[in-house]
């Protein structure tokens, strides 16, 4: 039975009612040492629903020290791979058991639809834990027949490589997929045998703290996973500069990613950076306009456009441009908007006042620069950070709205005449996270794929993800990959062992 807030699960309500949340350091639930706190705001009605600790540098020191100890203690450091696998599988089972609770927490904290979060954020998250659990028992090095040219002819050698956990991992994640991003970082780190300090975004920390409870219930040794809350300036910065951190895995803006990358190099911490994007979609002339419009609407309006790989630049062949645009407008205007806990709503509020202001400024800039606004372009007249699905058309893709990442439900549709021109314009961006091509001319599609400078190319779809398929960017969209075996590898060092026999 839903109560007046729309929460249906008693455990969600109990968690929210906690109000003064605590963070998980060394197996204890604690406040920040100086008791500093950050308000938690429900973006659907702009009300304060609790607060989280803002971890200070001393709290970060404590977390790093527990994580380092846990790495060195036998309980985790010498745990057998199959036991690590079983803990990860058990955690996935608990996530599955509490999937609805987690989805509802995302709805009140982030604003997204609980039903969509259940299928996407939580569904993919638990799938990823199961996928990574399998890798825990399959970490392997190689044996090498070596020559050692400087050695005398009668000398014999044996050489092999072994893979070892990189050490203490700092995972810093954004607010757009709070729970899923936590899974993307924690699962490979634990499969590899690392210990973790997770810092969720200050806007959306509830689901990560709930995950901490599940981690405790599973019985991971204390200090293996620490979850500290706080802002970027204080907590994130202290974490990334800490000399005890061996790897930083970050998802967020390119600007912060660049700062983190620089800080990481002072300590030679390994880095994975999954950053911004301005992902193009290219609709070729043979594509069914209905399919293109449906696909483009999904690509830009999913998660209210707050997706690093959102299809935010849509290049459409001029012969079908008007048909695609008019259908897109119909689809955008038909999207039911409302709080994430209203199951009839497909699109909720943006995450925060800051994000709302940022998106509205971009819309204003689009108007001023002369793009044609064909739908949306304003806030929804209700409480909460809602922005109408917005579509501009423009011949010119040098406009700010066609070049910068908006991270909101704002699409720019641009006509093209020639495929090579479309590819050149698609690549003319500092970003290179993803791109999609829409066509059934498969030999042409195959020729275009290598030309696109993007970490992922989707064909006749956009935003498709799978636990086993690596995800990450070219150019300013980042370094390294999340998901897939490549993600696991980035949490491992290679040790070469050389023996004279
Ligand atoms: P957005 O602009 O979308 O909020 P950010 O890149 O600022 O994205 O934030 C993503 C994550 O990075 C959040 O957890 C945030 O607290 C953290 N963060 C922000 N600034 C810093 C920083 N200087 N050092 C470390 N982490 C930071």
For 376-433, the pLDDT digits (tens) are 999 999 999 999 999 999 999 999 999 999 999 999 999 999 999 999 999 999 999 9
CA-closest candidate to residue 316, choices 390, 395, 413: 413
In sequence order, what are the residues at sequence separation of 6 or more whose Cβ sits closer than 8 angstroms to the Cβ of residue 316? 283, 292, 324, 325, 413, 414, 415, 416
Ligand 1 contact, 236 CB (< 6 A): yes
What's the rounded Cα separation, in Å, for the pair 129 and 204?
21
* For ligand 1, mutation pick of 53, 232, 242 (most atoms within 8 Å of CB): 232
Q: If you search the block for the tokens 């490589």, which residue do you land on? A: 161
Give yes or no: 274 in active site. Answer: yes
pTM: 0.97
Q: What is the pLDDT of residues 116-130, one digit of tens each?
A: 999 999 999 999 999
Where is 128: in which H helix or E strand?
helix 123-135
Instruction: Take residue 42 and report the two structure tokens written for it.
Output: 């429900």
- Rounded (5°) CA angle 219-220-225: 135
What average pLDDT score do residues 466-490 get? Answer: 98
Percent of the chain clearing pLDDT 70 (strictly above): 99
What's the rounded Cα separation, in Å, for the pair 47 and 44?
8
Give the mean pLDDT of the chain. Answer: 97
Q: If you search the block for the tokens 């620490």, which residue do you land on? A: 226
Query: What pLDDT is recorded for position 5?
Result: 67
Ligand 1 contact, 240 CB (< 6 A): yes
Q: What is the pLDDT of residues 73-89, one digit of tens each?
A: 999 999 999 999 999 99
Give yes or no: 360 in active site. Answer: no
Does the CA dihedral 406-410-416-419 come out positive or negative?
Answer: positive
Ligand 1 contact, 249 CB (< 6 A): no
* For ligand 1, mutation pick of 111, 170, 236, 351 (most atoms within 8 Å of CB): 236
Beta carbons within 10 angstroms of residue 449's beta carbon:
12
Query: How many whole angstroms from 236 Cα to the centroid of ligand 1?
Result: 7
Query: How many whole angstroms from 306 Cα to the centroid of ligand 1?
Result: 15
In sequence order, what are the residues at sequence separation of 6 or more whose Cβ sits closer than 8 angstroms to the Cβ of residue 21? 40, 50, 51, 52, 53, 205, 206, 209, 229
CB-neighbour burial class of residue 131 (10 A; exposed 0-12, middle 13-18, buried 19+): buried
Query: How many whole angstroms from 123 Cα to the centroid of ligand 1?
Result: 25
Ligand 1 contact, 201 CB (< 6 A): yes
Beta carbons within 10 angstroms of residue 216's beta carbon:
15
Torsion angle of the four alpha carbons 468, 469, 470, 471, in this order, in degrees rounded to the nearest 10? -120
Ligand 1 contact, 275 CB (< 6 A): no
What's the rounded Cα separation, in Å, for the pair 365 and 403?
12
Residue closest via CA to ligand 1's atom 27 equals 232
- For residue 182, name the pLDDT band (cuts at 50, 70, 90): very high
274, 287, 360, 405: which one is catalytic?
274
DSSP state, residue 415: E
Query: How many whole angstroms from 319 Cα to the centroid of ligand 1?
Result: 42
Query: How many whole angstroms from 110 Cα to the centroid of ligand 1?
Result: 16
- Rounded (5°) CA angle 466-468-471: 70
The b-or-e profile of 102-127 (16+ CB within 10 A means b, else e) is: bbbbbbbbbbbbbbbbbebbbbbbbb
Instruction: Take residue 81 and report the two structure tokens written for it.
Output: 């791979």
* For ligand 1, mutation pick of 234, 252, 305, 355 (most atoms within 8 Å of CB): 252
Instruction: Take residue 61 and report the two structure tokens written for it.
Output: 């020191």
Atom from ligand 1 closest to the CA of residue 176: 3
> Residue 79 in 3-state DSSP?
coil
Which residues does residue 373 pair with via DSSP β-bridges, in sequence order? 392
> Residue 305 in 3-state DSSP?
helix
Query: How many whole angstroms from 189 Cα to the centroid of ligand 1?
Result: 20
Atom from ligand 1 closest to the CA of residue 230: 16
On whether the CB atoms of residues 412 and 393 are closer than 8 A, the answer is yes
* For ligand 1, mutation pick of 201, 260, 359 (most atoms within 8 Å of CB): 201
Atom from ligand 1 closest to the CA of residue 263: 24
Query: What pLDDT is recorded for position 488?
Result: 98
Where is 456: in which H helix or E strand?
strand 456-459
Query: How many whole angstroms from 438 Cα to the centroid of ligand 1?
Result: 34
> Residue 478 in 3-state DSSP?
strand
Q: What is the pLDDT of residues 84-115, one digit of tens each?
A: 999 999 999 999 999 999 999 999 999 999 99
What phi and psi values does residue 323 have, to the nearest 5 degrees? -65, -45
The answer to which of 3-7, 182-186, 355-359 has the lowest mean pLDDT is 3-7
CA-closest candidate to residue 316, choices 396, 408, 458, 416: 416
Query: What pLDDT is recorded for position 54?
Result: 98
Where is 314: in which H helix or E strand?
strand 311-317
Where is 59: in which H helix or E strand?
helix 57-72
- For residue 6, name the pLDDT band (cuts at 50, 70, 90): confident
What average pLDDT score do residues 67-72 get? Answer: 98
| Percent helix / strand / coil, the chain, rounded to 5 | 40, 20, 35
DSSP state, residue 304: G
Ligand 1 contact, 202 CB (< 6 A): yes
Query: How many whole angstroms from 141 Cα to the centroid of ligand 1?
Result: 35
Beta carbons within 10 angstroms of residue 497's beta carbon:
12
What's the rounded Cα separation, in Å, for the pair 73 and 61?
18
Ligand 1 contact, 54 CB (< 6 A): no
On whether the CB atoms of residues 346 and 395 are closer than 8 A, the answer is no
Residue closest via CA to ligand 1's atom 11 equals 174
- What Cα–Cα distance (Å) separates residue 433 from each residue in 118, 223, 228, 392? 25, 34, 28, 22
pLDDT higher than 80, residue 2: no
DSSP states of 30-55: E--TT--EEEEEETTTTEEEEEEE--
- What Cα–Cα distance (Å) separates residue 447 from each residue in 444, 474, 475? 5, 19, 21
Ligand 1 contact, 146 CB (< 6 A): no
């Amino acid at each position: 039975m839903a109560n007046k807030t729309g929460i249906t699960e008693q455990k969600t309500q109990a968690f929210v009612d906690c109000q003064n949340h605590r963070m998980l350091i060394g197996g204890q639930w604690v406040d920040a040492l100086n008791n500093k706190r950050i308000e938690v705001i429900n973006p659907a009605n702009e009300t304060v629903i609790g607060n989280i600790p803002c971890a200070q540098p001393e709290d970060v020191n404590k977390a790093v020290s527990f994580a380092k100890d846990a790495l060195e203690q036998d309980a985790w450091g010498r745990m057998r791979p199959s036991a690590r696998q079983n803990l990860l599988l058990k955690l996935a089972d608990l996530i599955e058991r509490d999937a609805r609770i987690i989805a509802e927490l995302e709805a009140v904290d982030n604003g997204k639809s609980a039903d969509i979060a259940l299928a996407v954020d939580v569904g993919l998250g638990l799938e990823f834990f199961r996928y990574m659990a399998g890798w825990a028992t399959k970490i392997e090095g190689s044996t090498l027949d070596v020559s050692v040219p400087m050695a005398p002819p009668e000398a014999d050698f044996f050489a092999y490589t072994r893979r070892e956990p990189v050490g203490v991992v700092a995972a810093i994640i954004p607010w757009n997929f709070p729970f899923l991003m936590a899974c993307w970082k924690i699962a490979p780190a634990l499969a590899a045998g690392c210990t973790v300090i997770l810092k969720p975004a200050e806007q959306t920390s509830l689901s990560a703290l709930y995950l901490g409870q599940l981690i405790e219930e599973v019985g991971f040794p204390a200090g293996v996973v620490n979850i500290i809350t706080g802002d970027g300036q204080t907590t994130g910065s202290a974490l990334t500069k800490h000399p005890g951190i061996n790897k930083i895995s970050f998802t967020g803006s390119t600007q912060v990613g660049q700062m983190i990358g620089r800080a990481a190099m002072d300590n030679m911490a390994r880095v994975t950076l999954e950053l911004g994007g301005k992902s193009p979609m290219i609709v070729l002339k043979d594509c069914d306009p209905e399919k293109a419009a449906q696909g483009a609407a999904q690509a830009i309006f999913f998660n209210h456009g707050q997706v690093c790989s959102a299809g935010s630049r849509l290049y459409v062949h001029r012969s079908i441009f008007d048909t695609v645009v008019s259908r897109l407008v119909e689809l955008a205007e038909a999207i039911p908007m409302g709080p994430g806990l209203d199951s009839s709503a497909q699109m909720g509020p943006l995450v925060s006042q800051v994000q709302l202001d940022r998106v509205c400024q971009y819309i204003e800039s689009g108007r001023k620069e002369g793009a044609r606004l064909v739908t949306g372009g304003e806030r929804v007249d209700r409480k909460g950070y809602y922005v109408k699905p917005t579509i501009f058309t423009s011949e010119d893709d040098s406009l700010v709205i066609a070049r910068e990442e908006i991270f909101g439900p704002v699409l720019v549709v641009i006509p093209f005449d020639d495929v090579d021109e479309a590819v050149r314009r698609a690549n003319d961006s500092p970003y290179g996270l993803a791109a999609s091509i829409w066509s059934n001319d498969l030999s042409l599609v195959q020729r275009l794929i290598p030309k696109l400078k993007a970490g992922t190319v989707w064909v006749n779809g956009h935003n498709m993800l799978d636990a086993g398929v690596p995800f990450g960017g070219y150019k300013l969209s980042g370094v390294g990959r999340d998901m897939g075996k490549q993600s696991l590898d980035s949490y491992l060092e290679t040790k070469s062992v050389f023996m004279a026999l």
